Structure 1
Amino acid sequence: MIKLTKHYAFLGTILLAVWIGTFPALAQKKKFNVLFIAVDDLNNDLGTYGNTFVKSPNIDRLAKRGVRFDKAYTQFPLCSPSRSSLLTGQRPDMTKIYELQTHFRKNLPDIVTLPQLFKNNNYYSARVGKIFHYGVPSQIGTDGLDDPESWSYRVNPKGRDKTEEPLIKNLTPDRGLGSALAWRATEGTDDEQTDGLIASEAIKIMTEKKNEPFFLAVGFFRPHTPYVAPQKYFDMYPVDKVPLPKEIPNDLDDVPEAALFTKPPHWGLDEAKRREALRAYYATITFMDAQVGKLIDALDKLKLAENTIIVLWSDHGYNVGQHGQWMKQSLFENSARVPLIISVPGGTKGKASGRTVELVDIFPTLAELCGLDPKQNLQGKSLTPLLKNPAAIWDKPAYTQVRRGQIFGRSVRTERFRYTEWDGGNAGVELYDHQKDPGEFTNLAKDNSFVITVNELALLLKKGYPEAQHPEGK
């Protein structure tokens, strides 16, 4: 019996060593810090995701320090519903946040948010910029729909992009600036812009708190419209060189009317104005990327990289003309898919995972990595197996939904297919085979050869939306 006990003790030691060997920093007594970088309205038009036109050198180098998730999806392609879901660890049908006005605590008064969990566990929890919802640009410099219980400290910078708002050019003047194709190439430096000020304030906090555990949430506003950045970033993108997304004749003939957010297509803008808008969007991506670079450089300079987890995410994707659509609020791939990069000290570096994951998975992931007990049910799944082995066996699909007036569109994404029902199928159904049709040009929902696939995915969709089976969740 003694020999057997020693044998199992030895085996347990080996298994523990294997686990710690995967994330060596877990072996140290010092707590992990978390640098939590949120980017507003950023799609996957980044170098590390294969876009060779857009310049994003700093996000690209962050990807080399961690795991890039190639099939990561928002739960709701609109700022407040998405952020409320991610930060509470609950899906939108649980938070009941489907618009931009309601605070999640009205529906979930006692929920412990992700930053609050860290705060409750003796971390310094700080926010700079937009983490919970802000109206952009109207609420820049305010607390917006922030959650005071989540933070030890909050900062709301406001730069010249806000003060010079009257100088912005609006290509769609019938739309407010927060939902318009609008831009401005400014004079002055990065540090005068709101996002530049956000980076500076975040670095100040890192410097002051380098000797104690922190959860530092840094929320950049760009590339959210209006697309404002210093002139030098616009100069990187000659307008006549900006590539527009592929479009095909009669593309929308097999698309349900409810699927369309931008009506008429491109809001009637001609190609020249579309290039002008897309150039500005890309310029603000590169400007924001430069601010991310400042954070990474400061982390290295302060010697915090060896015990700081970095997470970079966007609240949703962004259409830039695909299917005639712009911005978010659609269930097409470009709107539902998001960039997500996680870097763990001592963990896997420079690898990509092709598994379908969700923003709601971030909460349980960080809780597990930092050894914190949420003490509440979380609806996502920890990504730690994929952080250790990006190709690990994984069978969890991703769910995204949006609301159109009084009806919902609900979508499920597997590694091969996207399946979508509008109003439970009453207002249309879509099926796209991403293996053969990554641009989602051919709706296969009525193709007889995909009847079995449609039935299987319809069941999978219902499984992902249990609350939607009740009248109040419709």
Structure 2
Amino acid sequence: MANGQKASQPNVIVFFTDQQRWDTTGVHGNPLGLTPNFDRMAARGTHLYNSFTCQPVCGPARSVFQTGLYPTTTGCHRNSIPLPEGTQTMAHYFRDAGYKTGYIGKWHLAGENPVTERGRGGYEYWLAANALEMTSDSYDAVLFNNENERVKLPGYRVDALTDAAIRYIDQEKENPFFLFLSFLEPHHQNHRDDYPSPDIYQEAYTGRWTPPDLAALGGTSAQHLGGYYGMVKRLDEALGRLFDAVKSLGIAENTIILFTSDHACHFKTRNSEYKRSCHESSIRVPTAVIGPGFDSRGQIRELVSLIDLPPTLLDAAGISVPEAMQGRSILPVLRRETASWPDDVYVQISEAQIGRAIRTSRWKYSVSAKDPIGDVPTADSYSEEFLYDLQADPYELTNLIGFESHRDVTAILRERLLRRMEATGEPKAEIVEAQSKRSGQRRVSESESRV
């Protein structure tokens, strides 16, 4: 532990990737050995096995992590809506508790580039770009500093940001600090719709292994999956470098490191681009935490949402969780202090549709607005769109919505979803039932309906 730091104030580092599927990791069955550092982190710390975003698109997901509020609460329900000035963020909560705060990488919560101080969410140290994919490329990392000066960093973009993070950690090692390290990878490079890996991994993973949903549905996976995997590999190497840095600086035992992603990637199999849908390939992400309060906690099977991570980090740092936050700290679950944890996660979907979904341990149920009018975050009326039995169909290849055999489970999920919407503060809405379909041999018992 650094000399000037109290044991009650652990450092906190968020290692935030963009558009990373859960099944890129070895602990989720990927056979390519892409993530030995993440896998070790999951084994030695806490692995949140069932981890989901609550908004599968960049800006809204980031607003959730910075505020602990749903996008319909902050108003950031789609990309290109800046975080309202005066919004309390993680930076404010940590600063008020005596922490130094730093942000490095992609922000995507402002309406300008470079992002002036008023749009930085209260972070003191700043080396970032609003939409990093628009200001940089894989070997052309361009960000902006506190003075809004253009800064070009050497190396592959993942390495460049990691170098900057290590410099910041070394600089602040005598003080408690909260560092948010936000990568673009493994998100595509927008202007050419490409997934550019480091040169050394080009073609190394092409054709090696395809997840079952992509094998069945195709999309752009044949073109893009190899590069995507190369990006994931370099991110994991960066995670290892971060572990080495905090160990060499003598602060590993008092540093919490959280790894997660804003959303996943379905490679144009569910709509015309890569996310913005209710499917696991849009919403399920890899998440693990290591450090004080999280070491040796093992694999946690409860369903955890992105909105639960801000209160968890505050709780772990000994900072009071604001009552306004709409998620829950998972620490009582880790400590076995409570048996009460919701068996569902709630998802808001924007841009491709105004959609709402609920995911339980077995079922996925999703609705979309019938006739959305204008750029609005909510709707008065939704239509049933998807129902999946994740036990029988984990890759969501058979849509059961409307099946006579699943009428009871659909009714239960419909009511659960409406309650979730209301609890989030959304206006009262109706859900129009799907047209009934014959279901052949399929049957669902009453007990199965309530799982």
TM-score norm. by structure 1 comes to 0.75
User: Match for residue 291 of structure 2?
Assistant: 344
Task: Kindly indicate whether residue 432 of structure 2 is the aligned counterpart of residue 468 of structure 1.
Answer: no
2:90 aligned to which of 114, 120, 135: 114
**2:365, 2:413 within 8 Å by CA — same for their partners in 1?**
yes
Deviation at 1:372, TM superposition (A): 1.2
Q: Give CA deviations for 1:30-80 in whole Å, capped at 9, x if unaligned.
A: 411101111111111211221113511222222123111122111111100
The aligned residue for residue 83 of structure 2 is 104
> Would you say the 8 A contact 1:247–1:323 is kept in 2?
no
1:86-101 aligned within 5 A: 86-101=65-80
Match of 2:105 in 1: 129
Task: Give the structure with higher Rg (CA).
Answer: 1
Partner of 2:182: 219
Equivalents in 2 of 1:417, 1:55: separation in Å? Answer: 30
Residues 271-291 of structure 1 deviation map (CA, whole Å, 9 limit, x = unaligned): xxx423111111111112111
Q: For residue 114 of structure 1, what is the amino acid of its counterpart? A: M
Deviations 1:138-157 (A, max 9, x none): 96xx4499843421111138
User: Does the Cα contact within 8 Å between 1:72 and 1:357 map onto a contact in 2?
Assistant: yes
Partner of 1:365: 312
CA distance in 1, matches of 2:351, 2:100: 40
User: In proportion to residue count, which structure has more helix?
Assistant: 1
Which runs of 5 or more residues in structure 2 are unaligned?
1-5, 141-152, 190-194, 371-380, 430-451
One-letter amino acid of the structure 2 residue matched with residue 461 of structure 1? L
Equivalent position to 1:420, from 337, 360, 366: 366
Secondary structure of the structure 1 residue equivalent to 2:202? helix
- Residue of structure 2 in register with 1:36 after alignment: 14
Structure 2: distance between partners of 1:30 and 1:71: 29
Counterpart of 2:259 (choices 303, 309, 312) is: 312
Q: 2:160 aligns with which of 189, 193, 197?
A: 197
Following superposition, the deviation at residue 396 of structure 1 comes to: 4.2
Match of 1:441 among 389, 397, 404: 397
Is contact 1:160–1:193 with CA below 8 Å preserved after alignment? no
Aligned-residue offset at 1:311: 0.9
Q: Give the alignment partner of residue 120 of structure 2, picking from 145, 148, 152.
A: 148
Pick closer, same or farther for the CA change 1:191–1:352 going to 2, 3 Å.
farther
Higher relative contact order (CA 8 A, sep 6+): 1
> 1:275–1:129: structure 2 CA closer, same or farther, 3 Å change rule?
same
Residues 164, 337 of structure 1: CA spacing in aligned structure 2 closer, same or farther, 3 A cutoff? closer
Give the SS at the match of 2:396: coil
Q: Which moved more, 1:111-120 or 1:322-331?
A: 322-331
1:92-130 Cα deviation digits (max 9, x unpaired)? 22112122211121xxx4331112210121100011112
Indicate the residue corresponding to 1:450 in structure 2.
Answer: 406
Are the counterparts in 2 of residues 245 and 322 from structure 1 also a CA contact under 8 Å?
A: no
**Partner letter of residue 45 of structure 2?**
G
Q: Is this contact kept in 1: 2:26–2:34, CA < 8 A? A: yes
**SS in structure 2 of the partner of residue 64 of structure 1:** helix
C-alpha distance in 1, partners of 2:388/2:244? 41
Pairing of 1:1-400 with structure 2 (within 5 A): 29-44=7-22, 45-53=24-32, 55-105=34-84, 109-133=85-109, 142-143=114-115, 147-156=119-128, 192-226=155-189, 227-237=195-205, 239-243=206-210, 245-246=212-213, 266=219, 274-320=221-267, 322=269, 326-345=273-292, 347-349=294-296, 351-389=298-336, 393-400=340-347
Task: Output the TM-score relative to the length of structure 2.
Answer: 0.78
1:409 equivalent among 345, 355, 358: 355
Determine helix, strand or coil for the equivalent of 2:342.
coil
Separation (CA, whole Å) in 1 of partners of 2:309 and 2:301: 16
Q: Is the 8 A contact 2:332 2:338 kept in 1?
A: no
**Percent of residue pairs bearing the same amino acid type:** 27
State the AA in 1 paired with 2:172: K
For 2:265 and 2:118, how far apart are their aligned partners in 1?
23
Q: Indicate the SS of the match to 1:457.
A: helix
Question: Over aligned residues, Cα RMSD in angstroms?
Answer: 3.2
Counterpart residue number, 1:429: 385
